[in-house]
Amino acid sequence: MSTRAYAVTRAGRRAAVPASLVVLFLLPLILMPLAAVFLFAFRGGPLAFWNGLKTPEAQFALRFSLLVAFATAAVNTVLGTFTAYVLSRYRFRGQRILGIVVNLPVAIPTVVVGTSLLLLWGPIGLLGRALPSGLQPMFAPAGVLLAHLFVTFPYMLGAVKPVMDEMEETYEEAAYTIGATTWQTFRYVILPTLKGGLFAGALLTFAHSLGEFGATVMVSGNLRLKTQTAPLYIFAQFEAGNIEAANAVAAVLALLSFFIFFVLLRYTGREGD
Amino acid sequence: MRRGGRVLPRGLIPVVFFGALLLYSAWPWLPFGRPPATPTIVFYGFSILGDAMNKGVFPEFRKQWAAQGHGDVAFRSAFAGSGTITNQIVLGAPAELALLSLESDADRLADAGVIPAGSWKRLPEGGVVNRTPFVIFVRPGNPLRIADFADLTRDGVRIVHPDPLTSGGANWAIVAEYGAGFREAGGDAAAGEALLAGVWRNVASQAASARAARTQFENGFGDALITYEQEAVYDKSRSRLKADVVLPRRTILSEHTLVVIDRNVPKRDRALVDGFVRFLWSEPAQRIFVQYGFRSVRDDLNAGHPALGAIEDPFRIADFGGWRRAKKEIVEDVWKRRVMKIPAKP
């Protein structure tokens, strides 16, 4: 396909040297660290790997992370698509500013996200102060979800809005002229064309949520079996010197992300560039 | 694109995969996968307590509580640097009980209005659950021949030290280093400061908790680590110790304080939490602490343990006027202002 065509056209310009240079610097930067996770995870044999994974804490952390990732992907798919639709189809005052604000989470350090959520929703926070203690979101699963929604918000938007911007508006106009409502037009004209973008955006959101650390560590309270996500579990176990336990879960997260990335490339036609 | 000739249509693979993933992750919360709800104690502890509580104290209490006819009990626990968990509790973490590595963290909770001031002093032993002295870990065979805190001030010794901002153990270590010099010279503040400054000139790495500092040391950083004796005793008992332990001639016995955060204890769990608090000072629990390398608050339980080494001149925080004074005079004034030269807040 396109990569192969690329390779053929550039075959004349000896690729061996620059390509091996790239591989050479990728070795210590990316490839060897990844290999180390798996080497360490399986060093004690598959049984030790399995023992590291089957503890209630590890199981909980993985499940909790996955559930939060599913929820984050679901919520941000709806919110992100709606935001993209509004930004792409309507013209209004403050549109540019809104466009910047919704993309801001990409640039904000995740630790700052965590801090700001605590300062808003925490028990001493601006809004959290008013909430009864049973409804406090911080140090509870809801807080983790809030943090992940914040951090991953732009991914859905980034996947869907360009598709929407490029969409021919004649189809929509045609739909309107035959009497379709805004919702029907969205549902039967826009949504089907968005399928690829929605899928890619949801996958990216899911993957980022699965690995989120900086904001989560601030808002989750790190409670084992209650609010400890898989990345927090890895960090806590590593700090406590239980490198095997940390590595088993790290290897699973790495495998999951490989698979998600593979699906992303394979099914949405995206190239890795 | 290839089509046909496949067992599954290509769109089905991600659907099946993510469906299976969702089922796996939601399983314990599904109606048929959920175990019945049990009363729960939320326990926060400082870093080195993890194994002693998770593997020793919690299971034993569960057994006893059930044997007394109260039914099952579950524990939710978090272990991190004492300062870290204190901050989390101030910010609203749902801890019902917290075992802090130093009393000044309890003071901070009281200052923040989380618990009544001094409420822990009404518990047995003034709230102190167990103790452990501060010791020096060195590389196997002690290649640098370190015998006491004074040897750590030599040029070229690289020390791994926990960070006093987040680690209770680091605060104990600072008082240990200062106090050793102070008492060696017969009560001379300048000698205390000189020893403290000498040690800190060689600190090569600061970790967030005592446990994390230990992990750094084990991963090969530094020549010496200043930490709780408990870590050494416990690891020796499992023959997992990859370091030699140097018992300083003079060092501090850290005392670990329990606080009950009443506002986080629901009424229905009151008896359970109180029962667990009483249990912590009972003989079975104290024996478990000794088994995991702590020193019991009951001297008779320590006597029988060969791994708890003898210290020539052990001292306590009370010898420096308690944590409120020591925090201000030793950690803030001497260590922060004079040794680290961090200016006071305006």
For residue A2, is pLDDT > 80?
Answer: no
Q: List B314's β-bridge partners, or say none.
A: B251
3-state secondary structure B84-118: HHHHHHHCCCCCCEEEECCHHHHHHHHHCCCCCCC
Model ipTM value? 0.75
Average pLDDT rounded to a whole number, residues A155-161: 92
Residue B250 φ then ψ, to 5°: -120, 125
**Residue B31 in contact with partner chain A when CB distance is under 8 A:** no
Name the CATH superfamily housing domain B131-254+310-339: Periplasmic binding protein-like II (3.40.190.10)
Shortest alpha-carbon distance between residue B342 and chain A (Å): 25
CB environment B106-135: b (16+ within 10 A), e (fewer)? bbbbbeeebbeeebbeebebebbbbbbbbb
The CATH topology of domain B40-130+256-303 is: D-Maltodextrin-Binding Protein; domain 2 (3.40.190)
Question: Min CA distance, B148 vs chain A (Å)?
Answer: 26
Of B14, B28, B88, the CB nearest to A63: B28
- Taking the CA of residue B121 as centre, how many other CA atoms within 13 Å lie in the half-sphere pointing to its CB? 8
- Tell me which residue of B203, B177, B181 sits closest to B190, measured CA to CA: B181
Contact B289, B296 (CB under 8 A): yes
From the list A136, A224, A239, the residue facing B92 with the nearest CB is A136
Q: Which residues are B98's β-sheet partners?
A: B44, B259
Please tell me the distance in Å from A8's CA to the nearest CA on chain B. 20
Ranges of each domain in chain B: 40-130+256-303, 131-254+310-339
Q: CA B131 to CA B255: how far, in whole Å?
A: 5
- The residues spanned by each domain of chain A are 45-268
CA dist., res. B130 & res. B118, Å (int): 18
Measuring CA to CA, how many Å separate B201 from each of A56, B156, B221?
Answer: 43, 10, 16
Q: What is the pLDDT of residue A244?
A: 83
In chain B, at which residue ranges do the beta strands (DSSP E only) sit? 40-46, 74-80, 97-100, 128-138, 159-162, 203-207, 224-228, 244-246, 250-260, 295-296, 313-315
To test the contact with chain B by mutation, choose from A72, A77, A115, A139 the residue with the greatest count of B C-beta atoms within 10 A, namely: A139
Q: Which two tokens stand for residue B55?
A: 């593997």
User: Of B8, B17, B25, B108, which to mutate for an interface test with A (greatest number of A Cβ within 10 Å)?
Assistant: B25
Q: What percent of chain A has pLDDT over 90?
A: 41
Amino acid B4: pLDDT: 45
Strand partners, A219: none
A45-268: CATH, from 1.10.3720.10, 3.40.50.300, 2.60.40.10, 3.40.630.40: 1.10.3720.10
Instruction: Decide if B214 and A241 are in contact by the 8 Å CB cutoff.
Output: yes
Cα–Cα distance, B286 to A138 (Å, whole number): 35
| pLDDT per residue as tens, chain B (346 positions) | 444 444 556 678 888 888 999 989 888 877 766 566 788 899 999 888 988 999 999 999 999 999 998 889 989 888 888 888 898 888 778 899 999 988 989 999 999 999 999 899 999 999 999 999 999 999 999 999 999 999 999 999 999 999 988 888 899 999 999 999 999 999 899 999 999 999 999 999 888 888 889 888 988 889 999 999 998 888 888 777 788 999 999 999 999 999 999 998 999 899 999 999 999 999 999 999 999 999 999 988 888 777 788 888 999 999 999 998 999 999 989 998 888 877 655 5
Query: Closest partner residue to B212 among A62, A122, A239, by Cβ?
Result: A239
Please give the single-letter amino acid code of residue A8: V
Residue with token string 């987040």: B166
B263 to chain A, any CB pair closer than 8 A? The answer is yes
Q: Is A54 on the interface with B (CB under 8 A)?
A: no
CA distance A16 to chain B (A): 29
Q: B94 and A239: CB-CB below 8 Å?
A: no
Alpha-carbon span A211 to A230, nearest angstrom: 8
Mean pLDDT of A150-165: 92
Sequence-distant (≥ 6) Cβ neighbours of residue A22 within 8 angstroms: none
Confidence at residue B5, expressed as pLDDT on a 0 to 100 scale: 47
From chain A, the residues in CB contact with B42 under 8 A are: 223
B33–chain A Cβ distance below 8 A for any pair? no
